[in-house]
Structure 1
Amino acid sequence: MASLVEIVPSSVVVQVLRGVFALPEPVKRLIAGKPVRLDGHRLSVDAQLLLTMMRLEGEQRLGADTVEEARQGLARSTVYLPKVPARPVATRKVDAGGVPARLYTPKGLADGSPLLVFYHGGGWVVGDIDTHDTVCRYLAVHAEVRVLTVEYRLAPEHPYPAAPDDALTAYEYAVAHAGEMGADPSAIAVGGDSAGGNLAAVVGVLAERRPDFALLFYPATDMSVRRRSREVFGEGFYLTDEDMVWCSDHYCRVERRAEVKASPLLAEDLSGFPATYLVTAGFDPLRDEGEAFARRLEEFAVPVALRRQEDLIHGFANTWSLGGRFREAMSEAAGALRTGLYAGPRDRS
């Protein structure tokens, strides 16, 4: 069956979607249905409404029958979310040590700003720098930073450890060439969502020159075991347990999933990991492993702010332009990044 965006012009779909999310909350509740309560949390009406709209459109999960269909599905969903921050952001291509990347620079940002090296999500199989363009623009504008987003190689064409190898290569390039990009070499963060959060965490563990801050959105941190949140939220909240199995099987062989480049939670020593803002979603199968990583960081005296957005679902960073709870959560994350980079230690001499 054809999807809504294949039948109706995208401009119409966008206007309808914006109109729906701009409705008063009681009206949104009528559309979304009865409140959803699970594991002691109540799903926000914005998240529930988004899931309702996704069911109407036919896009209910990240995975698909084929890799190509999954990639097309995620790319198509960006048609819904074209809004960008009002402040203009210049972009240019960067060859980050052989890894394609894109540099975002907000208009008027002074030279010597901090830099965020960002890795997109998508289960190491789908997604690209275009699917996460609005995320990078938002963080660049609202955290007052330059953002270098990385086009790491995807599985199954390039299975593990291609993605973490590219992540490390791009980060090392950023460290060596920060000044050329107009950034401060002593204020470099890593960040990412989901699989991208996994790669950012790997860089935080393994990079010779550790990042100055880490911004982790609902990161995948341990491929070796199943945790309770996968059982509780593994169906009906966008990212499913089936999706996670599908992505993992395309990405990494079972016998290698306990390696640090795949599961940074299992690193023997996390001392030296940068100060971190780690945010999870309450209705997310990845919730528990993200929070387990935060607790392990605390065991090694790493400054970490763990924030559970208890009423949201996986992927909320990409939906900030819908407003409401999604934008509130992203605003908090951008504020944490700005504080961590501008107020943190800057002297690397």
Structure 2
Amino acid sequence: MVGSLESHDDVCAELCLATDAAVVAVDYRLAPEHRHPAQLDDVATVFAAVARAFATVAVAGDSAGATLVAGLCVRLARQGKPKPAGAVLIYPWLGGELDWPSYIDNAEAPMLRTSDLSFYAEARYGGSVPAGPLDEAMPLEATDFGIFPPSFVVTADVDPLRDDGSVFAARLTEAGVPATCRNEAQLVHGFLRARHRSARARVAFEAIGAALRDLLGARQT
């Protein structure tokens, strides 16, 4: 619903410096003017073009962007297409249950409250049920977690979505997919914005850059 190429331009530029890789940001359509799956359609279109141009491609996103990264992997598997080299999901929203501890303990967390998620879901779907395959909108609904690429998942401890990331990483591990979940103590949803003011956020951002380098390997794109 919010954000733009401009809002994340500095993040993308710094990831480019950290990885020595080309970084492509997707200017996907926003809700509520454009409902799901418009955003995922845009991401899939851009990924297909990038995959044709580069031999090795990793995907990364934060918050709703992380939702789209995971949804893209589900769609690629459904279409029988190759998965990305790796994925980085930063405080992702993946369709967790409202009775999970993080949704309860962090119900009134700064930056994102549990009640906000219902508002965003209504805006994104235009109702309570997403159009199209449920697992493309809520990747935790996937029946086979072996479809996902090696992943680095970052969560904020003071965030209703904390458990989405940890559960997702655990299911990847159970499916035999290399996955790491890094939970950032005392940080809130959206902490990337504070990476130049908070030592904790800065260290987390450095870890994200290192993870992307590892996922891309010697052939960085």
Q: Does the pair score TM above 0.5?
A: yes
Match of 1:147 among 23, 34, 57: 23
**Looking at both structures, which has the greater relative contact order when contacts are Cα pairs under 8 Å and sequence separation is at least 6?**
2
> SS of the counterpart of 2:212?
helix
Select between 244-253 and 327-336 the one with higher mean Cα deviation.
244-253
Is 1:201 matched up with 2:66? no
User: Within 5 A, what are the aligned runs for 1:152-301?
Assistant: 152-178=28-54, 185=55, 187-207=56-76, 208-222=81-95, 225-226=97-98, 227-252=100-125, 253-256=127-130, 259-301=134-176
> SS of the counterpart of 2:115?
helix
**Aligned-pair Cα RMSD in Å:** 1.6
List structure 1 segments (4+ residues) > 4 angstroms apart after TM superposition: none
Cα deviation 1:102-141 (Å, max 9, x = unaligned): xxxxxxxxxxxxxxxxxxxxxxx11111111111111111
Q: Report the Cα distance in structure 2 between the residues aligned to 1:264 and 1:202, rounded to whole angstroms.
A: 6
1:113 corresponding residue in structure 2: none
The runs of 5 or more residues in structure 1 that have no matched partner are 1-124, 179-184
Q: Report the Cα distance in structure 2 between the residues aligned to 1:272 and 1:161, rounded to whole angstroms.
A: 20
Structure 2 length-normalised TM: 0.90
Question: Which letter maps to 2:184?
Answer: Q
Question: Which letter maps to 1:249?
Answer: E
Cα deviation 1:231-287 (Å, max 9, x = unaligned): 211214211123222111101121238701110111111213111110101111100
> SS of the counterpart of 1:146?
coil
Is the Cα contact below 8 Å between 1:175 and 1:188 reproduced in 2? yes
Largest Rg, 1 or 2: 1
Q: Report the Cα distance in structure 1 between the residues aligned to 2:58 and 2:105, rounded to whole angstroms.
A: 33
> SS of the counterpart of 2:154?
strand
2:216 corresponding residue in structure 1: 341
> SS of the counterpart of 2:152?
strand
1:117 corresponding residue in structure 2: none
Q: Report the Cα distance in structure 2 between the residues aligned to 1:132 and 1:242, rounded to whole angstroms.
A: 25
Is the Cα contact below 8 Å between 1:205 and 1:270 reproduced in 2? no
Percent of residue pairs identical:
36
1:323 Cα offset (Å): 4.2
Is the Cα contact below 8 Å between 2:109 and 2:188 reproduced in 1? no
Match of 2:187 among 276, 295, 312: 312
Q: Report the Cα distance in structure 1 between the residues aligned to 2:109 and 2:174, rounded to whole angstroms.
A: 34
More strand by share: 1
Question: Which letter maps to 2:95?
Answer: D
Structure 1 length-normalised TM: 0.58
> SS of the counterpart of 2:135?
coil
Is 1:126 matched up with 2:2? yes
The runs of 5 or more residues in structure 2 that have no matched partner are none
Q: Report the Cα distance in structure 2 between the residues aligned to 1:259 and 1:290, rounded to whole angstroms.
A: 18
Question: Which letter maps to 2:118?
Answer: V
Is the Cα contact below 8 Å between 1:190 and 1:204 reproduced in 2? no
Is the Cα contact below 8 Å between 2:195 and 2:201 reproduced in 1? yes
